[in-house]
């Protein structure tokens, strides 16, 4: 069971899950605490990422909405402006993207705080951010060599993001004293 042709899917899954687990063996839990504090301390929260990182940021936006935070995806036509007391939370796994840097500049000029989640804490986005959450996972910028992840391109980083963001959601739920049923009550009924 779990094999397709000469591929053992179950063995591949165990290896992929072990790789994600290894990221969290290296992750400083203070980063999760810092992310919680940034979210709790913010008025509006705008989130952005490119490509698959952007999908993980959308997933976090949804969880923040389920928690009752005023959270929005950058680029959606209903996203309000940010200003003093607000937060721009971005992802730049490989260290920097031109769009991320541009949005950080706009948010900073408007008086909002900027936080970057990245695998490269010395990258361009990290140098511009008010706070850096270092997620030490392989990205597309570092996906070659003998220790390359089984997961293609930047997938290890993105998988670790999804796990981190759901763990942070649990931490936020606990810190804001919400029952899971309260979160569930904010889930859309238009599906």
3-state secondary structure 88-140: EEEECCCCCCHHHHHHHHHHHHCCCEEEEEECCCCCHHHHHCCEEEECCCCCH
Distance of CA 123 to the CA centre of its chain: 16
Spatial strand order of the sheet with 87-91 comes to 70-73, 44-48, 87-91, 113-118, 131-134
Provide the residue count of the chain.
191
- Rounded Cα distance, 113 and 87, in Å: 5
The catalytic position among 38, 53, 128, 158 is 158
In terms of Cα–Cα distance, which of 29, 61, 42 is closest to 135?
Answer: 29
Is 38 a known active-site residue? Answer: no
Note whether 111 and 84 are within 8 A (CB): yes
Token code pair at residue 30: 């203070």
Active site (catalytic) residues: 158
């Amino acid at each position: 069971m779990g094999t397709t042709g000469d591929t053992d899917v179950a063995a591949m899954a165990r290896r992929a899950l072990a790789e994600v687990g290894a990221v969290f063996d290296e992750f400083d839990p203070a980063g999760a605490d810092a992310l919680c504090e940034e979210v709790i301390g913010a008025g509006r929260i705008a989130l952005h990422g490119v490509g698959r990182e952007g999908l993980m940021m959308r997933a976090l936006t949804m969880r923040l909405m389920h928690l009752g935070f005023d959270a929005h995806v950058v680029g959606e036509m209903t996203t309000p402006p940010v200003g003093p007391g607000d937060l721009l939370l971005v992802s730049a796994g490989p260290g920097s993207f031109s769009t991320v840097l541009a949005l950080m500049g706009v948010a900073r000029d408007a008086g909002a705080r900027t936080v970057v989640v990245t695998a490269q804490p010395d990258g361009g986005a990290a140098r511009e951010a008010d706070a850096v959450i270092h997620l030490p996972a392989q990205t597309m910028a570092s996906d070659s060599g003998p220790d390359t992840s089984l997961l293609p391109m930047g997938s290890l980083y993105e998988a670790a993001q999804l796990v981190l963001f759901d763990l942070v959601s649990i931490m936020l739920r606990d810190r804001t004293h919400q029952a899971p049923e309260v979160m569930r009550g904010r889930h859309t009924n238009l599906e």
